[in-house]
Structure 1
Amino acid sequence: MVQQWWRNLSPAVGAYVMATGIISVGLHLTGNDVLSKIFLALAAIVWLVLAADFGYGLLFDRSRWRAEAVTPPALTAVAATTVLGTRLALLGWHAVAVLLLIVAVAAWPVLLITVIRHWHRRMPGAAFLVCVATQGLSVLTATLALEDVADGLMPAALMLFLLGLILYVAALVHFDFTQIWRGEGDQWVFTGALAISALAASKLVAWHRWTGADHTALRGTALVLLTANLLIYVVLLTAELVRFRPGYNVRRWATVFPLGMTAVAAMSTGAATGIHALHTTGKLLLIVAVAVWALVIAELIATRVIAADG
């Protein structure tokens, strides 16, 4: 019975941790610390379950582990770990955040290379997880540097940021653009990858050692990325309204994550660039993200109730 439960756990569930964790960050940035900690606890519990599942598959069920490792959702293991680590770093739990960074860095190259080797021509939005996972490392590394844990980590954060942009372009080449209209939720990673890239850029902008032309270039890059993020956000939202797709799907957590990440990216970019309107925009978008998170939870519960009655 326990073994069957492990086998039924999809790697795509990692997007739940990503979505819940980034909303926790957003709530922290808006001063809602009690609610933020509740979301953090929810994210941490599921992360622990997924970490146990990952380890179980690696040690005792290698065939299943290999089959899942070639799929883009496998990279949620890295992305979820970095999002959780970022929130814990902001909470002051620096030692745990560093440990999570080490875990994510260890898993990242293995999963990244495995996933890219199995890319095909027309990929769903999950293809952009190669960028999200890499930028997640950049965000966590930069956050620890800004928290004065290790100032020397910032150059590494910059290199990861640049690599993440390259991987975004690579994923874009393979992306099936019809997914915008018929995707089941993960098409939103198309813009979520830009959002986390903008967040990483804003963290770089905030570092005191970037001055002059370097600071100007990073500031401009952050604003360009956020602008592109918001434009694609509108396109995807329009597609959702035109072709309404109700009902629970595990991929819907890959919708909630970009909604929350866009909100956090807007607030962080606003703080780093001094554009206060972006912070206001981020606060409004966070309300949307929380509402959609609650909707997906409600649909999940409804699905389970119907399944139990059946």
Structure 2
Amino acid sequence: MSRMPLGSLPQTSQGRVGGLVEKLTPGYFALVMASGIISIGLNLSGFRALSIALLVVCIVAYVALVVLNVWRFAGHRAAMIDDFRDPKRAFGFFTFVAGTNVLGTRIAAEGWHTATAWLLTMSFLVWLVLGYVIPWSAVLGRSERPVVALANGTWFIWVVASQSVAVSAATLEVVFHDARQSLAILAVFSWSVGVFLYAASAIIVSLRIMLYELDPKEFDPPYWVSMGAVAITVVAGARIVEMDSAPMVDATRGLIAGLSVVFWAFATWLIPVLVAAGVWRHFVRKVPLVYVPTLWSMIFPLGMYAVAGIYLGRADGLPIVEAIGSKWLWVAVTAWVIVFVAMVRSVSQALVVPRRPRS
């Protein structure tokens, strides 16, 4: 009996799901990040029902992605290891840390502080491990040089992960009085690390843009994380400013408050630059605008900028900054709805098994 070619084997729905799991992008937790941060913004603005709806999406997406990543590790470990070694994809794993803390911060607003503490503990440990493993496996451990030629916008997700730890720690510092000193140290420590990581990532990514040819297809949505990383630095700073008195906080409160305003201004400046880059990519260079999972890395910065304005305006008494954040929130909501619908359509089409013609 002759063997049927592999390509002609009928593909079942289960096989398609397995194929999608194998190709699952490490940065898909950006869906959790985007949904969670917009839910936080809606909650801060008093839109309770919409906020709860986004919280439900955030929780469901988080659980589903954890299950899918465990499945991928068990059944497609080689593909996951390849991602760890790829400088263009490896930093996407930090979306798990950021997504975990965004979810934790949101559920803290519901009074679920113990769950937030457990999520912070887990994310902090993962952040520490990935912070040493990924730079080595994806950058320092590679024989190819120069590695800077492979840098892209996903590198800023490391910054976002660091600042998400600071936000979560600052959120819990006012609740767990016995752990106040430790949480204050953790918040200031991770905020400071995030600031220096942003400077390093910005230099490396800027060198990549200036020194090497840039294909329009490579200037993808994760470059928006360069703005989102600044915005979450603002939020983390504002939350630290609002923390109760502690030696680490008291020593840095004035510095962090001032720098947060500067970072907000820089994030605002970056928005027209990134919009212009998108126009160049899609309208000048004609790259098709279709759904890709990395679009969530664009929605998160939009929501993060809105929340940054709201938090900073309230923490530092800047009404105009709060007003800008409140208005921008609806830009983020609109973008989230568009991308979510596109994602549902894309996944549905990928799972549909074409009917075999009758003989």
Taking structure 1 as the reference length, what is the TM-score of the superposition? 0.91
Question: Could you tell me which residue of structure 2 aligns to residue 284 of structure 1?
Answer: 327
**8 Å contact 2:23–2:79 — kept in the other structure?**
no
1:151 and 2:180 correspond: yes
Alpha-carbon distance, 1:213 to partner:
7.2
- d(CA) in 2 for partners of 1:79, 1:64: 22
Q: Secondary structure at the match of 1:31?
A: coil
Match of 2:62 among 23, 27, 47: 47
**8 Å contact 1:185–1:252 — kept in the other structure?**
yes
- d(CA) in 2 for partners of 1:86, 1:35: 17
Question: Could you tell me which residue of structure 2 aligns to residue 126 of structure 1?
Answer: 154
Alpha-carbon distance, 1:72 to partner:
1.1
Question: Could you tell me which residue of structure 1 aligns to residue 192 of structure 2?
Answer: 162
Question: Could you tell me which residue of structure 1 aligns to residue 33 of structure 2?
Answer: 18
**RMSD between superposed Cα atoms in Å:** 2.4
- d(CA) in 1 for partners of 2:20, 2:193: 37
1:100 and 2:129 correspond: no
Match of 2:308 among 265, 282, 295: 265
Q: Secondary structure at the match of 1:91?
A: coil
Aligned residue identity for 1:196? I
Range moving further from structure 2, 54-63 or 35-44? 54-63
**8 Å contact 1:181–1:239 — kept in the other structure?**
no
Taking structure 2 as the reference length, what is the TM-score of the superposition? 0.80
Alpha-carbon distance, 1:301 to partner:
3.6
Alignment of 1:33-44 (within 5 A): 33-44=48-59
Match of 2:108 among 72, 89, 95: 89
> Which sections of structure 1, spanning at least 5 residues, go unmatched?
none
Question: Could you tell me which residue of structure 1 aligns to residue 3 of structure 2?
Answer: none
Match of 1:221 among 248, 259, 284: 259
Aligned residue identity for 1:160? S
> Which sections of structure 2, spanning at least 5 residues, go unmatched?
1-13, 140-146, 283-287, 355-359
Aligned residue identity for 2:273? V
Aligned residue identity for 2:209? F
Runs of 4+ in structure 1 off by over 6 angstroms are: 178-181, 210-213
Question: Could you tell me which residue of structure 1 aligns to residue 220 of structure 2?
Answer: 184
Identity of aligned residues (%): 29
- d(CA) in 2 for partners of 1:309, 1:63: 26
Q: Secondary structure at the match of 2:332?
A: helix
1:193 and 2:229 correspond: yes
- d(CA) in 1 for partners of 2:167, 2:312: 13
Aligned residue identity for 1:267? I
For 1:155-197, what per-residue CA distance to the aligned partner results, in whole angstroms no more than 9, with x for missing partners? 2100110001111112112213377965221110111110111
Aligned residues: 310
Alignment of 1:203-222 (within 5 A): 203-209=239-245, 214-222=252-260
**8 Å contact 1:69–1:111 — kept in the other structure?**
no
For 1:247-304, what per-residue CA distance to the aligned partner results, in whole angstroms no more than 9, with x for missing partners? 2111110000000001001110111101011111001111000111111123234445
Alpha-carbon distance, 1:219 to partner:
1.2
CA 1:35 to 1:115, structure 2 compared with 1: closer, same or farther past 3 Å? same
Aligned residue identity for 1:154? A
CA 1:300 to 1:54, structure 2 compared with 1: closer, same or farther past 3 Å? closer
Alpha-carbon distance, 1:305 to partner:
5.9
Aligned residue identity for 2:130? L
Question: Could you tell me which residue of structure 2 aligns to residue 72 of structure 1?
Answer: 91
Q: Secondary structure at the match of 1:246?
A: coil
- d(CA) in 2 for partners of 1:100, 1:212: 26
1:234 and 2:277 correspond: no
- d(CA) in 2 for partners of 1:5, 1:305: 12
CA 1:180 to 1:18, structure 2 compared with 1: closer, same or farther past 3 Å? farther
Alpha-carbon distance, 1:112 to partner:
2.0
Larger Rg: 2
CA 1:306 to 1:35, structure 2 compared with 1: closer, same or farther past 3 Å? same
CA 1:62 to 1:110, structure 2 compared with 1: closer, same or farther past 3 Å? farther
- d(CA) in 2 for partners of 1:59, 1:9: 13
Alpha-carbon distance, 1:53 to partner:
2.9
Question: Could you tell me which residue of structure 2 aligns to residue 141 of structure 1?
Answer: 169
**8 Å contact 2:36–2:106 — kept in the other structure?**
yes
Alpha-carbon distance, 1:203 to partner:
0.7
- d(CA) in 2 for partners of 1:181, 1:300: 22
**8 Å contact 2:195–2:233 — kept in the other structure?**
yes
